[in-house]
Structure 1
Amino acid sequence: MGVDLAPLNSHNPESAFVENPRHLRTAMKRLQKAQQALARTQKGSARRHKAVQRVGRLHHVVAERRATAIHRVTKQLATGFATIAVEDLNVAGLTASCPRHGRGSRPQSATEGRPQPLHPRHRTR
């Protein structure tokens, strides 16, 4: 069994792909309200402490949902197949030589890339 850990989805034996559940996007409205409430509080107050706790709890819930989803998929794969192959790609190295996304993707301006001579008035003697 081969596993492709693409940024958008991953392979599953029952279906072709497992969609990314996007837990942060689903919790974003509650998280935004909690962070706005936190921003309105006064530093050092008990209400601010409660608001900090609430924002932290919401982030923890998102992290737990992500971990649960990953565990569910990996357990399905581990129990369903005898051999699983995972390839660790150096994505940064692959995109570094890409003409569109890697190094050299920005056009250099006339002054960038090579040092320009100083004007005679600015040279040190």
Structure 2
Amino acid sequence: AQGFDDAAFADRHGRIGEATIWNLAFWDGDAVVWPRAQVLPGTTESMLRRQLQRLGVAQRQAVLTRADLPSLAGAVVMNSWSPGIPVRRLADVHLPDAPGFVQLLHRAHAAEQPVAP
């Protein structure tokens, strides 16, 4: 009804955590920022963290609230379907396109070697 494709969750303290079936990740221009909140870490998030570390990409966890969003340089949702789909708006906060961030996540995802069953 408000024009959104999905929902993201914030706890009673306003800490942004995750979306309905997605993990969230943010870009500050230099590092991947993972929300510090109670979330269910997904398989794709775990894989990306591992591969980003291997690639030497800076990562950090931070408590994020709506007030922090304007200072960020991009955001994505991810799950087993995709390592990164751009998020352009959370609530009334518009987020910049970050094609380099999305490409970085896809590159990290592609670097994961398949494991034989």
TM-score interval, normalised by the smaller of the two chains: under 0.3
Kindly indicate which of the two structures has a greater share of residues assigned to helix: 1
TM-score by length of 1: 0.22
Q: TM-score, normalised by structure 2?
A: 0.23
Q: Which has the larger radius of gyration?
A: 1
